[in-house]
Structure 1
Amino acid sequence: MTTEHSGGGDLSRSLELLWGTGERPSRGPKPGLTLDRIVTAAVAVADAEGLGALSMRRVAAELGGGTMSLYRYVPGKAELLDLMLDKVVEFDAEAHPDPAAGWRPVLDAVARTNWRLHHRHPWLLQVDQSHPLLGPNALDVFEYALRALAGTGLADREKVHVMVALDGFVGGTARTQLNSAHAEQRTGISAEEFWRVQEPILSQAMRSGRYPTLAGLDEDAFSGGDNPVFELGLSALLDGFAAVIAARSRPNGPAKGHPNGRITADEGITE
């Protein structure tokens, strides 16, 4: 369940902190903290105890200081969350393929990095980022992916749509897996026990003849865990992007940015 929102505090102050354009603390004794230490401690609290445990008081305790000392650096929890969201996506270019290697290995690497990110920081799925506050780390990732998509024939708007679709797939798949694990923790009922309780009624339903296709599935149809789902979905999504990009390079292919990526015969070009 979403519990927080990006950009939920003072937007101007969050942006100043993200981009380092604001004034640094100058009052009082020599600062014993840094903004990066505070944000790193906040991420550690959220990773270990969940987003619900995050507070200025809790972060101060993690750092071994008083709550008021944090307010010299960051106005409050909402702005701190904006900094955390950018902190965790810090980009390591050396760990990713060079954009010159082509768009597919780059997008594959971006997707896998994002997949691992959600599992390392499950609290990310509790934050509504429909209005994202873009910091330098987030833009580094975006710039990297867009460089790889240069020369594909995609319109600029389509390149952005590709990134949105990729992010939506990874986030949605991670949410399904992590919510399942959270359900076990929340209820104390394992996945095996959960399905065992349903087995009698489901077996009866399969014998009824109402669901012949379901009844004919192999016994292992629902086994294999979530990683195979991610692998198949990512491969299919990248194959789909490849088909669109290939269509752009064909003579009389779909025009850039055309709705649904298609040109109709009525417009003078045959599909």
Structure 2
Amino acid sequence: MTQVVRAAAALADKVEGWKRSGMRVGVVPTMGALHDGHLSLLRTARRHCDRVIVTIFVNPLQFDRADDLEKYPRDEARDLALLEAERADVLFAPGVGDVYPDGFSTRVSVAGISEELEGAFRPGHFDGMTTVVTKILGMAQAGWAFFGEKDWQQLQIVRRLVTDLNLPVRVTGCPTVREPDGLALSSRNARLTPEARRIAPALYQVMQQTAQGLRAGRDPVRELDDARSRLIEEGFASLDYLELRHAETLRPLADPADPARLLAAAWLGGVRLIDNIAI
């Protein structure tokens, strides 16, 4: 049975006991509204670790729009049932006051890698994310942490954070989980209208076609321009970006031999969809 823990001190006592027994502890940070993408992280964590903590905390610091924060789905009872079915050991679900008590005044910022792509369109988002991830990792004291590759930029920022601050945790990226038609699983997908949901898989389909062209050595500028045009033709309202970047630094790709990632953010029916593909 999954135990619900809300106090950081209680979690620390539990983790300390596990570690004294020689157990390997993993943590899966989430904001709830769990779907199979989150559960795949938990399944991976269970393969690597003896005990697994899943955290649920809707972090106000990483929302740049108040209405987006208000609309974010919350259903702890449903999430807990899913975690119990997957044999999570602990659900750590602190309150806002537990994470950000009165007088809290610290922000954690990762320069450079956080400033473009998502960072350019969602000011403050990554500072909020890195602040809460630092806190969650500190409270969980787990040796392993599991994040999804769907949020590729976030994953690279967390890796940079852990390296720069010498945090004693191993960050593991897990593959994006998709619907049968290719749409990347996301809590935001539930907000798509039926018509928008019909169009949404075109994002991945166009990105796949573009990736194939890029791997074949075609001109990146032309391939990306064509892809942007096709997405608008498919019915997307607008694109925040569709870019080819270095897979780790997320800087513009200078050498075609470097590891690369195609990243996109597009608007459809008032919902912002993101995706990425390895090149």
TM-score, scaled relative to structure 1: 0.21
Larger radius of gyration: 1
Structure (1/2) with the larger helix percentage? 1
Structure (1/2) with the larger strand percentage? 2
